[in-house]
Amino acid sequence: MEKNEVTMKATENSLLPRKEEIDISVEIYRLYRFPKGETTLIKEPLAIVVTDNGHRVTDRENQNHYIPYGWIHLKFKVREGEKSWYYQRVNKRNKKDLLVEEK
């Protein structure tokens, strides 16, 4: 692992709620990269569950993938014309924060 690289680990500040199935079917693929250069590519992911130990992802072929924490990069591509779950989640959070700040 490079000196400045940090591995992903469980955190209380996840962008996704824990132990709840989230629809990620707008993604074309999802690619995890690990410290020694290993990668895991999931094509056509449909759903993800964030757990205390990692991500559980189901793909379009109904295969289930367990990705333990420890990755250093997560890359995903969203279908053209769609907004990612990340955009929707951050946008919702920002609106909520703005409402709180206005009070």
pLDDT at 13 over 90: no
Residue with tokens 């690619």: 31
What is the C-alpha to C-alpha distance for residues 102 and 76, in angstroms, rounded to an integer? 34
Q: Taking Cα atoms as reference points, which of 54, 65, 59 lies closest to residue 43?
A: 59
Residue 10 has pLDDT above 60, yes or no: no
Q: Residue 83's pLDDT is what?
A: 81
Distance of alpha carbon 21 from the chain centroid: 12
As assigned by CATH, the class of the 22-102 domain is mainly beta
E runs forming strands in 1-103: 22-23, 27-33, 39-43, 45-50, 54-59, 64-68, 73-78
pLDDT per position as a tens digit, 28-83: 999 999 999 999 999 999 999 999 899 999 999 999 999 999 999 999 999 999 88
